[in-house]
Every structure is written in C-alpha cells, then in structure tokens.
Structure 1
Amino acid sequence: MSELSQLSPQPLWQIFADICAIPHPSYHEEALANHLVAWAKEKGLHVERDAVGNVLIRKKASRGFENRKPVVLQAHLDMVPQKNNDTDHDFTKDPIQAYVDGDWVKARGTTLGADNGIGMASALAVLADDSVTHGPLEVLLTMTEEAGMEGAFGLQPGWLQGDILINTDSEEEGEIYMGCAGGIDFITTLPLSREAVPAGHEIIRLTLKGLKGGHSGGDIHLGLGNANKLLARFLFGHAQELGLRVLDLNGGTLRNAIPREAFATLAVPAANVGKLQSLAQEYQAILKSELAAVEKNLTILTEPGHSDAKALSADSQKRFIALLNGTPNGVIRMSDEVKGVVETSLNVGVVTTNDQEAQIICLIRSLIDSGKDSVVSTLNALGQLAGAKVEAKGSYPGWKPDASSPVMHLVRETYQKLFDATPNIMVIHAGLECGLFKKPYPDMDMVSIGPTITGPHSPDEQVHIGSVGQYWQLLTALLKAIPEKD
C-alpha cells in the first residue's frame, strides 16, 4: 500500500489504503466497522452503533464555527466483490491489491472498492485532519448498501443531529447529484423436472466470458453485453436444432452488477458436437460485430465436460430457455423530465439452477414508481406464462430532486469559486441512500458528490487520482462555507 500512501491529499489516501487492507464485501463489513470504532476512540471522538450496525462518529466544531449548521458526511461500509475468472482472491479474507497506474488507482484482478471506499476515506480524513475547518460534524457509515441498503433501511429517526447531509457515493467529479432512482428486486423461480441423459450424448461445457460488466445503474445505458441474456439467446436459437439437453445454466453473481460470464453444461448428441462448436464460433463472430464498440474481449468456449446431473425434461428446458430469453434487460425508457438520464431499467443479474428449480434474479430501477410497477407487471406476466413463482421484494424509494435545495446551490457556488467552472446538476440512475434517509429525516437537506470512478461493480473499477484531489478541495471548502443556524 506504500504507493497509495504517497499520494495527495493525505491522510485520505492512507486511510483508503487501510480500508483496502481489511476485507469488507457486503455482509462481511464487521471487521472494518470494528476497526473504525477503535480508530475513532483512539482519536477521542464520540462513536456509537445502532441496532443494524451503522457506525456514527461525532466531532465537535472547529473554534469559531460552533454556530454553523450541523453536517452529516455519509458513506457506506461495504464494497461489491467481483473478480476476473483467473484471479485467485477470497473477498472475505484477502486484502484488495490496489496500485497506481498513471493517473489512476486500480486493483489487481478485482473490484477496487473506491465505491464507496474513497468517500468513506474522505469523511474519516476530515475527522483526522484538524486543519480542516467545519461546524458540528457527524460521519455516518451504513451497512450493506450494495446488497439491499440494509443500513439505510434500518436508520432510525432522532439519531442524527445534522441539518445537512453530504452523501459521498457519486462517481463523477464536476457533477452534483440531487436525485436518484429507486429500485426493487424481482426473483423468478421456475420448477424443473429432470430425466436421464439419453444414450449417445457427450457432455460439453459452454462458456460465454470476457465481457466488461459494470454497474447495473450507472452503466446500464452503455449497451454492454449481459452474459446471461447472450447465452440464453444462443440456446433459444439452437437447442432444438442440435438436440441439446441442458444439465445446468448459471451466470452472474450480483443483481446490481452486469454479468460478465455465464456457463451451461449440455448433453449433445455425439454427431452434433462439431456443429455445436461451429455454431458457437459463428455466434461469437456475430456478437463481436454487434458489440464491437463496447466488448473487445468477448469469448465463447465449447469444451469437453463431466457431470452426473440429469438433464432437464424437454418441457422444463423449453420453458426455462424461453423465459430467460424473453426476460427484458437494459434500458426500458429514457426520462422525459431529466434529459439524457435513464428513467427505467432492469438488469438480469443472476441465473442459477439446481436439481429442483431455476432462478432468475433481476434488479429493476426507475426514477418514478410507475416505471418500477410497469416492469414488475411485465415480469409477473412472463412468470405466469412460464408457470413460475414470482416475487418482488426489497423495494426502496428514489430520491426526489429538489431544485430549491440550499446545500445544492452552495455546492454549485463553491465549485464555481474554486475551479472557475460550472458543475452539472444531475439526477443519477443508480440508487443512493438519500431516498431512504428522507423517511426518518424528511427535513434534512441533502446532496451527493464524489470523485471520478469508472467501471464500478467490475474488476475494471478505477479512481482518477486528480479528481480525488479536486473532490477533497470541494468537500473541505464546502464544510467551511456551511452557513450559520437560522
């Protein structure tokens, strides 16, 4: 981590290096939370945790700033665990191997966790650096944001004392976010029947890999390949022609990450193995042409396999492949109200099969509730046609834009003074916790800012070093500019 500790500003980068050293994927943030509680106590800061594990640290105002409006700096503790297929890494045990590559900080073969580790580090750096001038300050670090916003759901009224909340989970320097999409998980479960693999069949492992993946909100408009959907398209087009029998089909690992890989174990009549291989290569060429601008490393492999599993019955296989192929994916509608921003989308994030059932897990996002409802209705209808069980759960609200927000106007003015440039006022299609915070704290004024992070939720994740410096300048200047209480 020595490379990171030499970057400026300090101590932000040193704190980020320390965060990288402690494993903290979703549902495994406890070690990091305990470390930060001990860190706060060492510095003589007030620290406490709530019933769901959120961490709250308080610091008194700088001298002369006691009468400023109190501010909450907010980040989430967990990171998305994604790695390349050839990377040996256990996110629950191994540190993130972060390194400097020119103007960027990256990780070796895994997600970096700059989402939201840099925001977390910036909030902690404000606590650690007594030269930063601020009013009464709280730092709120929430649990399990990436896997369902559980910490934000559990936040109780009356705990926070701040009038203003600055969320640090945005990913583009020069943009100020004042609204975001809401979301809901949708799970389709299809019962499967199985039968013995017919005689004269060979087992083939079909792999579609090498896709970029990415954030299922912030990257959904980029036209990236979805491995689950692309594999389903091939099987729907050729299973009957080749006499294929599906033994299993699995792809993706997280509902909020665009899946980079999908795998099917197939029983193929021996006479058709060569034709399967030929069609797979033809399909690879088609996809490389279709997705040439965004997917440079797409690969389809057909390799000899082994499995003792029974094959899906003809009826189960037909319904499963049709259901997966027919499930919509990607941008459903662009916003009329906020030009250039996706209104409604969904990501076919995870597909799994076992002996008894197949499961398709999607994450639906929308700026408007009716957009979510429309996609839920579509998936309900598809499930009904396929004879599947359906469940929509974990709904969380969007963050409604407030064009009159005083803190948003203050951020814009501060940015203009610092950099002689006008920042973009934005609504993001990704989910931010602000929408959930508005329920227990409806009168709190909120805004979201951050440095430039590309490829979040994928092993291509990287953070721009220069933008972290600009973000730090903005954050510290903003804290100094917070007005006095009314």
Structure 2
Amino acid sequence: MGILSNIEPKEVFQYFEELSMVPRSTFHTKKISDFCVEFAKSHNLEYIQDEVNNVIIKKPGTAGYENSDPVIIQGHLDMVATKTTDSDHDFENDPLELFVDGDLIGAKNTTLGGDDGIAVAYAMAILASTDIPHPPIEAVFTIDEEIGMGGANHLDTSVLNGKICLNIDSEIEGVMTVGCAGGYIYDTFIPIEWSEESGTKMTLSLSGLLGGHSGGEIQKQLGNANKIMARILYALGKEYDFNLVNINGGNAANVIAQFNTAQIIADSSQVQAITDAVAALETTIIDEFAGQEPTLSLKASVEGEATLNAFDADTTTRVIGFLYGAIDGVQCYDRAFPTAVESSLNTGIVETTEDTVKVKFQVRSSVATKLTDMQNKLDLATDLAGASREISGAYPAWAYNADSVIRPKALALYKDMFGTEPTVETTHGGLECGILFGKKPDLDIISFGPDLTGVHTYHERVHIASTQRMWDYLKELLKSCK
C-alpha cells in the first residue's frame, strides 16, 4: 500500500504516487515516457511515442460524447531536480520519498514534481476511468519543459484533432492563466587561466535561501545565492588579496539559486580579517532581507596552508566582475498590469569546469523587443569579461485570445462550483502554450491547476484539498465540452 493510497481523490493520487517512483528529471525522461506507454497499453488506448519521448494518448468519447470534438489535456513529464545540500538523492535513478503533512504532500529533501506530475496524474485518471463522462481525449505529455521546452518544440501537432487545450501547469487554484511570457536560456562561458598560488585555502559557503520559481516568484525579490556570493567576493576583493579556486551554485536556470560555494586561496596574513569581514557581511545581508530569508547562512571556513592551481588574478577579477555586474531579477513591470512582471532574468547556475566558469541565465519577457534588449546587455557584459556565449531553448510568448470559447465557459463553471470569481491573468512563467499555439493557431487554450507551493525547490508541496477541488472542476469542465 502506498503512502497516498487513502488520500482523496484516490484515482489521482494513485497515479501521482506511481509517477513519483519513476525518475524524471529534465533531460532524463526515457523511463517516464516508457511508463506512459505501458499505461496506454494496459488500458488498450491508442498512443504515439515520438523520437524525443513525447507521448500522446488518445481515448474515445464516452456515451453521448462520441461525436464531440476532442479535448486536449496537456502537461509535461519532467521535473526540476533540486535537493538539499546534504541529500544523496540520485535524480536519475532514485524514486522520490513522499510524505504527508496535514493537507500537504512533499518529498524528503527534494523537489516533489507536482510541477507537472499533477497534470499527468489528472490525465491518467481520466484516461483510466470507466464512469467519468467526457469527449474524446488527447492527452499530450511533453518532455524537457523545465529547461528549454524541447518536447513542445519537437511535438508534431498535426496528429492532434482537438481545438480546446486544457494546460494543467498553473499553480494557484482559482487563477486562470490566459497568456505567458516568452524567453530563452543564455549561457556565458568565462575562460579560466590557471596559475599556481600559495597561501591559505578558504571556503565561503552561502546556503539556506528560500529559492523559488524564477517566473512565478521573481517579483518577491528573494535572495539569489549566486548574486549574493558575487557581492561578497567583490567586497572582499576591494580589501584583501585572494584568488578564486572555484565557484559553484544553483540547480537550474529557472530556479532562484538557494546556495553557492566559492573556494579561494588567500594571503595567510589576512585570513582572520577575511573571516571577520564575512561574518559582518552575513549580518548586513540578513538585515537587508528584513526577515524574508530567515535561514540564510554565510560561513567562512579555513582549510589550511596550500599550494594549488587557482584562477589567475585577471580571471578572478573577470569572474567576480561579471557575476556581480550582470543584470538580474525584475527589469520591468507590465505597464498595463502594474503588479505583473513584464521582463526579468535569473542567474540560475554558476559552474566551474576544467577550462571555464559557466553562468546560466533564464531570460523572460512578454515583449519581444525587451528580450532583445536584455540579450544586448548580457552580450555587453559577456564581451567585457572576455567570454563567449550560447543562446538556446527560445520559446514564444502566448498572447491573450479575445475570442476564446473555452475561457468564458471555464470562468462561469468555476464561479458556479465555488461561489467566487476566478482571477484571469497572464503569467511571467514560461508555459508550453505559446509553442503549441504557434504550431497550431486554431488552439483555444486555458491553463489552470491546484495549489502548489515552493515549486522548483525542496520546499515544494501539493495541497490535497485543492487537488480534490480542481479534480472535480476538471471533470465538470470536460462534461461541458459537448
């Protein structure tokens, strides 16, 4: 018996738990794709598994809906792979360790994959059902949404007959998403020149930040560990002599970095002063957050005298300067909806390799020219650092459809069922809807979902009662699509 076996809606959480047993981090989705194929086979359903491992499963309409137009239910198979710094979880091989805490479901020391496993679980529960009225269903499960949306970009939409698409990849119950930002991944590669340096090896560790979704939570101004560490190193570099040995932080481009570790080799006569300065900077930064980052921790540890290969002085300066000076965070709010973010970028990953320091940004905007403007600024910073660049994973914005048929129906149903008006908004987070609409312009799309919190972090939780309500809502919405 599974840990979710007695939690309603049982038919949804049965599949959610089964999905949680299959590793499915971004770029490692073959196992979960094959799981979906086996599900289709076991229920005698038509399926397509393409060469990149997207899966489409089709089910005929139930009695009375045989001649209705198909409805597409869409979600993505991959999940963000984030874990605590002391976790030994292997996202390529290990199942998630689920737990229940009151109304919340989480995973021990890791992301949960509610984003977007809950969509897949909903769809599977519909596909497996024998007593839920519905039109023909085309369940579209894409891969690698979280980094670059490669699955949606590759998807052959010519095999889809549905014109209504229910994207279940929104994370606040009662919020109906009707548009999203476009974006891309920007990688900077700063070349390393190594030199042999002697002194005292020290490790600066920044951890305990809340992190979060760089689309849905960038406006909260949460601490980005990569940017904070750059600030610390820049401040230390104005007063003390040291060379960087390595610097690493963050889990994914679209996650606000929760940790960063930098190793330095410092002038031995300045070690105590550096340690004291780091302690003072910790106090300053904690005070600046005014309680918003309650578990932030900045520590300097001394590892002893050493002679080792380190970044030479010029590389140290260029790496710190680039990380500190490159733009980050909210750049502009939407002028029509002042509480909505229009343009932002997130310094998601810093990684030291054998010959470069790689810095990965997630860039987002609902205005195409602003995407270009942010690229220009990153290009300038990259050039000044003597670095190279690579842009990948571009995806278009999903524009608001004034003539939508499904939107007024979905809004009216929500009010009828729950007695409150749902919120209609566009999201700064990237959704596959823009890519799908670009490929199939006759699609009428709306995005919704149950409450998920802490998405893209190891604080991620699925809210049980909300999952039940939105399950009931999904069934009624399908029933209305006749």
Q: Shared topology, TM-score over 0.5?
A: yes
User: In structure 1, what residue type is equivalent to 2:26?
Assistant: S
Q: Is the 8 A contact 2:29 2:53 kept in 1?
A: no
Which residue does 1:57 correspond to in 2?
57
Deviation at 1:308, TM superposition (A): 6.5
Letter in 2 for 1:441: K
Answer whether contact 1:376 1:392 (CA < 8 A) is retained: no
Partner of residue 319, structure 1: 318
Match of 2:415 in 1: 416
* CA offset digits 1:62-101 (Å, max 9, x no partner): 1011232210101111111100012221111111111110
Which whole-Å CA distance do the structure 2 matches of 1:157 and 1:116 have between them? 20
1:171 matched residue in structure 2: 171
SS at match of 1:123: helix
Change over 3 Å in CA distance of 1:354–1:59 after alignment to 2: closer
1:433 and 2:432 equivalent? yes
* CA deviation vs aligned residue, 1:373-412 (integer Å, no higher than 9, x gap): 1110111111122222123222110111113311111110
Quote the residue 2:219 is aligned against: 221
- Residue 154 of structure 1 and its aligned partner are, at CA, apart by 0.3
User: TM-score, structure 1 length as denominator?
Assistant: 0.96
Equivalents in 1 of 2:255, 2:196: separation in Å?
A: 35
C-alpha distance in 2, partners of 1:138/1:386? Answer: 49
In 1: Cα distance, 2:321 partner to 2:390 partner: 19
2:277 corresponds in structure 1 to 279
| Matches for 1:315-354 after TM superposition, within 5 Å | 315-354=314-353
Aligned residue for 2:210, secondary structure, equals: coil
Q: Deviations over 1:157-215 (max 9, x none)?
A: 411111111001110100101101111111111222121103xx110111111111111
Instruction: State the alpha-carbon separation in 2 of the partners of residues 458 and 410 from structure 1.
Output: 34
Residue of structure 1 in register with 2:83 after alignment: 83
Secondary structure at the counterpart of residue 342 of structure 2: strand
| SS of alignment partner, residue 197 of structure 2 | coil
User: Which of 250, 270, 287 matches 1:289?
Assistant: 287
Task: Specify the alignment match of 1:95 in structure 2.
Answer: 95
Q: Which moved more, 1:161-170 or 1:390-399?
A: 390-399
The CA distance in 2 between the partners of 1:308 and 1:273, in whole Å, is 15
**CA displacement, residues 39-72 of structure 1 (integer Å, 9 cap, x when unaligned):** 1111111112123221111111010112322101
The TM-score, its normalising length taken from structure 2, stands at 0.97
For residues 160 and 339 of structure 2, the distance between their equivalents in structure 1, rounded to whole angstroms, comes to 35
Instruction: For structure 2, list consecutive stretches of 5 or more residues without a partner in the other structure.
Output: none
The aligned amino acid for 2:285 is: L
For the structure 1 residues 356 and 2, does the alpha-carbon distance in structure 2 shift closer, same or farther, using more than 3 Å as the test? Answer: closer
Q: How does 1:54-453 map to 2 (within 5 A)?
A: 54-198=54-198, 201-305=199-303, 309-453=308-452
Q: Aligned in 2, Cα 1:426/1:278: closer, same or farther, shift over 3 Å? A: same
* Counterpart contact for 2:413–2:477, Cα < 8 Å: yes
Inter-CA distance 116–420: structure 2 relative to 1 (3 Å threshold): same
The alpha-carbon distance between structure 1 residues 88 and 308, as it changes in their structure 2 partners (threshold 3 A), is farther
| TM-aligned CA deviation for residue 337 of structure 1 | 2.3
Gapped runs of 5+ residues in structure 1?
none
Q: Which amino acid aligns with 2:85?
A: N
State the alpha-carbon separation in 2 of the partners of residues 393 and 89 from structure 1: 28
Alpha-carbon distance in 2 for matches of 1:447, 1:255:
26
Aligned length: 481
Question: C-alpha distance in 1, partners of 2:291/2:42?
Answer: 51
d(CA) in 2 for partners of 1:308, 1:190: 24
Separation of aligned partners in 1, 2:78 and 2:258: 21
Q: Within 1, Cα distance between the matches of 2:475 and 2:226?
A: 44
SS of the residue corresponding to residue 471 of structure 1 reads helix
1:408 maps to amino acid: R
Query: Conserved in 2, the CA contact under 8 Å of 1:265 and 1:305?
Result: no
What is the distance in 1 between the residues matched to 2:413 and 2:68? Answer: 16
Residues 1:427 and 1:304: Cα distance change in structure 2 (over 3 Å): same
RMSD: 1.3
Letter in 2 for 1:159: V
Deviations 1:249-291 (Å, cap 9, x if unpaired)? 1111211111111111111111111111111111111111111
Q: Distance in 2 between matches of 1:197 and 1:308?
A: 6
Distance 1:313 1:387 in 2: 14
Which residue number in structure 2 is paired with residue 22 of structure 1? 22
* Equivalent pair of 2:148/2:184 in contact (CA under 8 Å): no
Question: Is contact 1:239–1:245 with CA below 8 Å preserved after alignment?
Answer: no
The 8 Å contact of residues 176 and 424 in structure 2, kept in 1 or not, is answered as: yes
Q: Distance in 2 between matches of 1:321 and 1:152?
A: 36
The CA distance in 1 between the partners of 2:379 and 2:83, in whole Å, is 32
SS in 2 for 1:206: strand
